[in-house]
Structure 1
Amino acid sequence: MSESATFRTRLRTLARTTLGLVLGALTAWVEFAYVVVGGLALALPVAREPVFGGARWLSEWERRRIERFFHTENATDYTGRRALSYLAVRCVLGMLSAGIILLILYGAVSGVIVLVQYSHGKSPLGTAVPARWYDLLPVGALGILLLFVALQGLAGTVSLDRKFARRFLGPSSQEMLRRRVSELSVSRAEVVEAVNGERRRIERDLHDGVQQRLVALGMLLGRARRATGVHAAELLRQAHEESQEALRDLREVTWRVYPIALDEGGLHTALEALAERSAVPVRLRYTLPERPPAALETVAYFVASEAVTNTVKHAAAGRIELDVRREGGSVLIEISDDGIGGARPGGGLSGLARRVAAADGKFTVDSPDGGPTVVRAVLPCG
């Protein structure tokens, strides 16, 4: 993105946020009056339902305002009591925003007045001495300081606005449970699809690789039995070579099913073996301080293995960088190359995304045309 486009984007964001603050400052006075009157009305049992209903209506307006202008989403299943509590806190914050905005407007008007006085030869310091150019320095410094403090205050009110909405209007335990059940249902279906895909790939590798080698080996041995002399020796030599190729193909298939190095030496050892077997040079950086759980090691290995395989087949790359490190409470696996880029979701990458999602991780692919391609998986590690 160009600098001009970035500047326009930031300017639009600033204008949108400012408009959201102004609207929140205006509605704060309505909410303050509603909280005072509604709080008194709660003494009457018959008025509680209408008061809570009105609180929900006002809170919904605030929720939509925060979602539209601050890009923060919240749930809609909160109760009327929680809505009224939210309004009681939000109206104070809104009035604080209104005070800061009025202070900025007052400072802007005062600055214009000072400039007008200075242009007419009057000192901005209010003295009888004629205006001098350095009289503007203390006034300007004070104005800049007050503007900085006011802008920081506005930024703080935006942050508090989001936090209060998340605290009072955030998803309830039932909503979080429903979301989790939905995520688990999707993950289960994706795991089943990923397992079926792995089975189909193994069957294809056995059929097109090992099985064809064994058929050729059987034919060579049959011809060797019927042949004599030098010709039989040559056929036996070819059969021996074919058996070695079949063993190598079978070893590749079993390695792709589950590398025994994961059990014997852990993820680091398995990735070292992967780097040694790659047709494209792989630079491995492994900085995990301790061995992660076995389930995480399995997912991490297959992410790296599939990504390296795809790079070798399709990226026309000269080198591959494989980085495994800890980030907070997660393990990050990052595979990058200097190839032609243009990788799109689908095929092996979609299978990797399903495998990572089943482990509650995040999977991303950044591959612009011309490269480089960066495949990243973040796996939570308890």
Structure 2
Amino acid sequence: MTSVRRREEVRMRDRAFSGSVYLLGTLATAVITALALPVLLAPPAARGWAEWHRQRAGRLLGVPADGRLGGRRALAWALAHVAVGFPLGLAALMCLGNILVAAVALPLWWAFPAGERPTLFSFFDVHVGDWETALVGGSVQIAVLGAAAWWVLPTLARLHARLCLAVLAPSARERLTERVDVLTRSRVGVVDAHGAELQRIERDLHDGTQARLVTIAMQLGMARESLADDPDAVAALLAQAHETAEEAMVELRTVLQTIYPPILADRGLDGALTALAVRSSVPVHIELADLGALPATVEAVAYYVIAEALTNVTKHAAATRAALRIKRAGDVLSIEVTDDGRGGADEARGTGIPGIRRRVAALDGAVRLDSPPGGPTTLAVQMPCA
């Protein structure tokens, strides 16, 4: 019970601090907005300034702030920010400033000239002329304004942040336009990925299986020609053809496994992931919830994503352990692969992340990679699975 209360106190203290800092920043940016309003009439400047505020508000509320930002809404936000942000920020400044006055200046009231001594509660204009007024009145002022800073300022900050996100929220038409753009890009990516996959399969069949079949045909032809002249060589040629045929079957099976892993059909996604973890040279801890029935396409993409992620952990992360968490919430499948490696994953170095993004985007999913230098690395994927 004590630990719960302590966590709640820490959370409230963090809210009070972040809310106060947010409102003081709001006052400063409101003044800057008012002074730079002619500059903000230009759409690029207005959008950049509004986007900065939107991300700031999203961080305070702990919600994502994304979507296309139009010039008109950015300009409307500049005007609303001056009208609302300035009084809210000024209220925070007065509250915190008077706490500072009460805490620092009032104990030193005697050091001020008689006509310039500090006052308590600006509205009541209570002058400090003795120690009783300084100590009692100062304590009351600190308590009242401290309670306001603890309870009221975080609420005002969150109201301002919600107003910011509401004013700058994309319209339904803008969301539809952005959605169409995303689907267009993902379709292009899917087409490119499909073409690359066909080229890879063709190359594997041409360089592997087809070459083996040509060798078998040559060996059988030589055996037929040697049947009358050198019967003893026929057995050796047939043995070679048999070995080559087995090798061709293995290579063909390998190619087919890359199209749709047979283990998914044989053991399902649960068994396939367990097999991946067992084969991994890095120990993998699996947390697998009940996923229910999944479409075959979703299972295949999930298997590919996890296989590629564990391969990256083995080859690039220098990790000692990894963890795989996969769960389903309604119609959304969530996958998370983490490792304790060195981090710093760079998609430009060919670590397979672009391929993961293309496959997930084809199902209208999302990929998030968090890999700071020094680790840990987290790959989070969400896909619709209705």
TM-score (norm 2): 0.65
Alignment size in residue pairs: 338
Q: Residue 18 of structure 1: which of 13, 24, 27 is its match?
A: 24
Q: Secondary structure of the residue that 1:21 maps to in structure 2?
A: helix
Q: CA deviation at 1:159?
A: 2.2
What is the CA deviation profile of residues 13-42 of structure 1, one whole-angstrom value per residue up to 9, with x for unaligned ones?
9868623234448989x9xxxxxxxxxxxx
Question: In structure 1, what is the Cα distance between the partners aligned to 2:294 and 2:49?
Answer: 43
Question: Which residue of the partner structure matches residue 256 of structure 1?
Answer: 258
Structure 2 residue 93 is the aligned partner of structure 1 residue 101: yes
What whole-Å deviation, never above 9, does each CA across 1:309-343 have from its counterpart, x for those lacking one?
Answer: 55566667776644322368632223445777665
Pair 1:76-2:60 in alignment: no
| Rounded Cα–Cα distance in structure 2 between residues aligned with 1:119 and 1:328 | 68
- Name which structure has the greater RCO, CA cutoff 8 Å, separation 6+: 2
Identity in percent: 37
Asked if structure 1 preserves the Cα contact closer than 8 Å seen for 2:102 and 2:139, the reply is no
SS in 1 for 2:347: coil
Aligned counterpart, 2:303: 301
- Secondary structure at the aligned position of 1:71 is classed as helix
Shift of 1:102: 1.2
CA gap 1:179/1:100 in 2 versus in 1, 3 angstroms: same
- Judge conservation of contact 1:360–1:379 (CA < 8 Å) in 2: yes
Q: What's the CA shift for 1:295?
A: 3.4
1:282 Cα deviation after fit: 5.6
Amino acid in structure 2 at the alignment position of 1:75 = L
Change (3 A) 1:192 1:171: same
CA deviation map 1:143-176 (0-9, x unaligned): 3774364155333333222211322342112221
Aligned to 1:164: 163
Deviates more, 1:171-180 or 1:147-156: 147-156
Distance 1:367 1:350, change over 3 A: same
Superposed CA RMSD: 4.9
Unaligned runs of 5+ in 2: 1-16, 57-64, 113-126
Counterpart for residue 324 of structure 1: 326
Q: CA deviation at 1:195?
A: 0.6
Where in structure 1 are there 5+ consecutive unaligned residues?
1-10, 31-53, 121-125
CA–CA distance in 1 between the matches of 2:168 and 2:87? 20
* Structure-1 separation of matches of 2:361 and 2:318: 28
Change (3 A) 1:96 1:266: same
Q: Corresponding residue for 2:187?
A: 188
Specify whether residues 106 and 272 from structure 1 end up closer, same or farther in structure 2 by C-alpha distance, changes over 3 A only: closer
1:104-153 CA deviation, whole Å, 9 max, x = no partner?
21221122233215999xxxxx999989xxx9799669737743641553
Distance 1:107 1:339 in 2: 47
Range with bigger deviation, 160-169 or 89-98: 89-98
2:183 is the counterpart of 1:204? no
Letter in 2 for 1:363: V
Partner Cα distance (2:321, 2:223) in 1: 44
| Worse-matched range after superposition: 242-251 or 308-317 | 308-317
**Deviation (angstroms), 1:214:** 2.7
The residue identity in structure 2 corresponding to 1:20 is T
Contact 1:27–1:94 (Cα < 8 Å) also in 2? no
Match of 1:376 in 2: 380
5 Å matches for 1:1-382? 18-24=24-30, 67-68=51-52, 71-72=55-56, 75-76=69-70, 78=72, 83=76, 91=83, 94-117=86-109, 143=142, 146-147=145-146, 149-150=148-149, 152-222=151-221, 226=226, 228-229=231-232, 232-263=234-265, 266-275=268-277, 284-309=286-311, 321-326=323-328, 330-336=332-338, 343-346=345-348, 347=350, 348-366=352-370, 374-382=378-386
Equivalent residues of 1:213, 1:242 under 8 A apart: yes
User: Cα gap change, 1:208/1:369 in structure 2, threshold over 3 Å: closer, same or farther?
Assistant: farther
The corresponding residue for 1:8 is: none
Cα deviation per residue 1:11-70 (whole Å; 9 max; x = unaligned)?
A: 999868623234448989x9xxxxxxxxxxxxxxxxxxxxxxx9x97xx99987654456
Residues of 2 paired with 1:109 and 1:292: CA distance?
64
Instruction: Work out the CA distance in 1 between the residues paired with 2:20 and 2:93.
Output: 14
Q: Distance in 2 between matches of 1:136 and 1:328?
A: 60
Structure 1 residue identity aligned to 2:108: V
Tell me the distance in 2 between the aligned counterparts of 1:377 and 1:315: 19
Secondary structure of the 1:363 match is: strand
